[in-house]
Structure 1
Amino acid sequence: MPRIVHELSPISLLGGGNVEQSDLIFANDYAPRLIAADGGADSAVSFGWLPETVIGDFDSLTEKTRQILGSQRLFQIAEQDSTDFDKCLRSIDAPLILGMGFTGRRHDHTLAALSTLAARADKRCVLFAEEDLIFLAPPRISLDLPEGMRFSLYPLGPVNGTSEGLHWPIDGIPMAPNGRVGTSNKVSGPVRLTFDAPHMLILVPKEARDKILAALLEEPSKWPDPAAR
C-alpha cells in the first residue's frame, strides 16, 4: 500500500470534528508536522495553520481552503469504502500519530474512528478526545501513572489480557464488546498490561498525555500490518 507521508518523528493529524485549541498548541510543539484529513484542513486554516498534506475523498473540503493550500498539498483518494481517517492512517508512515478532531461532533464518526484504530492496529495513533486520550493497546505496555487515576479498558472484539497495577485485575477474564468490559477501573501502582489480540482500547484522562506518548514510543511490541496477513 503506497505511503503519502513518511516521517521518523511523531506527526499531528487533524480531522473535521471537535478539537481543543490547547491540544493543537501542544501538538504544534510535540509533533509540528501537520497532516489534515479532508475537511480537517478547513479547521486548520480557521486556526491559522496550513497543513502540509491533506488526504481524503474531499467531499467536505471547501473550495476556499483548496485555493489557499494549492493543489500540491492535496492527495485525493476517491473511493467511498473507507473513512478519511482510515485513508490517512494507511497512507502515513510515522512512529506515532496524534489524532485530533475525530471525536465528539457526531457519534457515528466517533465510532468509526475507534473501529479504525483496531483495523489499522499496526499504526500507533492516540486520539485526543474532549477529556480523554484513546488508543489501541499494543501487545504489551508499561505505564507509570498516578495512583487512583481512572483507567478504562474497552474491547472492540474478543480479547484476553493480563494486568498489574489495576485496582480490578483483568487476568483470566475474557473480554468482548457484548460481554465483559473494563470501564472505570483505576490505577493502583505501576501498570503492566499484555493482550492477545489487537482489540483493546485504553482510555485515560488527558493529564496523562506525556507519559502515554512516551510509553508508546518506547514500547517495541507491535501488532502486524493487517495487509501483510
Structure 2
Amino acid sequence: MTGRGLIQSVIESAGPVALIGGGEVPGAVAERVLAMAGPVVGADGGGEWLLRRGRMPDAVIGDMDSLAPRWARRMPPERLHRIAEQESTDFEKCLTRIDAPLVLGVGFLGARADHMLAAFSVLARFPDRPCLLAGAEDVVFHAPPRLQLTLGRGDRFSLYPMRRVSGRSTGLEWPIDGLAFAPDARIGTSNRVSGPVDLHFDGPGMLVILPAAALADAAAALLGSAAKWPALAE
C-alpha cells in the first residue's frame, strides 16, 4: 500500500525507478535515467516512447487517453493500469503508486508550461515521495529536510518555494539564513554555488532547480538523505 488512503502500489522497488512521461523526452537524458534505475514505468503516453525504443515497461499507469491501442496491445494486460478518474494528473497517478526510495522522471519538463507547473504542484503535495524530474536544461526536485551536495563553484543553484518555508545554508553565494520564502513573495532563483552545499529547511515546500549536468549528484544526494518529510495531512 502507498500509505495515502487506499491507493494500492503498482511498483515496489528497493532502488530507483524510472518514470517516462508523455511530454518532451530528451533522449540522452532519458538514457542516463534508465541506466540509473531498475524498474521503468510509463506515464500513459510515456509507455509508447519506451515501446518505440524496444523497452518493455514494467507498468504503464494513467487514464490511457494518450497511449494508442496499437501500442497498448503490445504489452501484457497485467502491466496496464488504467486509472479512470480525472481529478489527478498522470504524473500524480504514477507517483502515488510507486513505492521506491527515488523516482527519476523524464518527460515532465519542457515546452508545456501548464504541464510543468502541474508537475511542480505534485512534487509539493507529496514531499514524502522523493522524486527528481530531469529535462534537457534542468533537474528539479523537492528538497529533503537536509540537502548536502558538492557541485562546481559558480554552478547555478535555484530555490523556488511552493509554500511558506525558511531555512539556512552554507555553500551558496547568497545565504538563505533568516529569509522567509513564499511563491508570492521572496523566491531564491539564480543563486550560485560557492562551496560544498549544506541546506536545512524548517518544513516542506521548497523546490531545488539545478543544471541538467547535476543529475547524478542530485540523485545520489536524495538517496543518501537520512531525514524524510512525512506525508502531508489530507
TM-score range, shorter chain: over 0.9
1:197 and 2:203 aligned: yes
Superposed, 1:137-156 pairs within 5 Å as 137-156=143-162
Superposed, 1:30-109 pairs within 5 Å as 30-109=36-115
- Could you tell me which residue of structure 2 aligns to residue 28 of structure 1? 34
The amino acid across from 1:91 in the alignment is: R
Provide the aligned length of Structure 1 versus Structure 2. Answer: 228
- Structure 1, unpaired ranges of 5+: none
- Could you tell me which residue of structure 2 aligns to residue 167 of structure 1? 173
Deviations 1:23-72 (A, max 9, x none): 22212221032101111111212223221101111111111111111312
Structure number with the higher helix fraction is 1
1:215 and 2:224 aligned: no
How far, CA to CA, are the matches of 1:209 and 1:130 in structure 2? 11
The amino acid across from 2:105 in the alignment is: G
- Could you tell me which residue of structure 2 aligns to residue 5 of structure 1? 11
How far, CA to CA, are the matches of 1:25 and 1:32 in structure 2? 12
- Range with bigger deviation, 125-134 or 47-56: 47-56
Deviations 1:152-187 (A, max 9, x none): 001111111111110001111101111111110000
Identity percentage of aligned residues: 48
> What is the TM-score normalised by the length of structure 1?
0.96
Please provide the CA RMSD for this pair: 1.2
The amino acid across from 2:199 in the alignment is: L
User: What SS is found at the alignment partner of 2:78?
Assistant: helix
Q: How far 1:105 sits from its partner (Å)? A: 3.3
Provide runs of 4+ in structure 1 moved above 2 Å: none
- Range with bigger deviation, 47-56 or 173-182: 47-56
- Structure 2, unpaired ranges of 5+: 1-6
Q: How far 1:103 sits from its partner (Å)? A: 1.5
> What is the TM-score normalised by the length of structure 2?
0.94
User: What SS is found at the alignment partner of 1:226?
Assistant: coil
The amino acid across from 1:97 in the alignment is: V
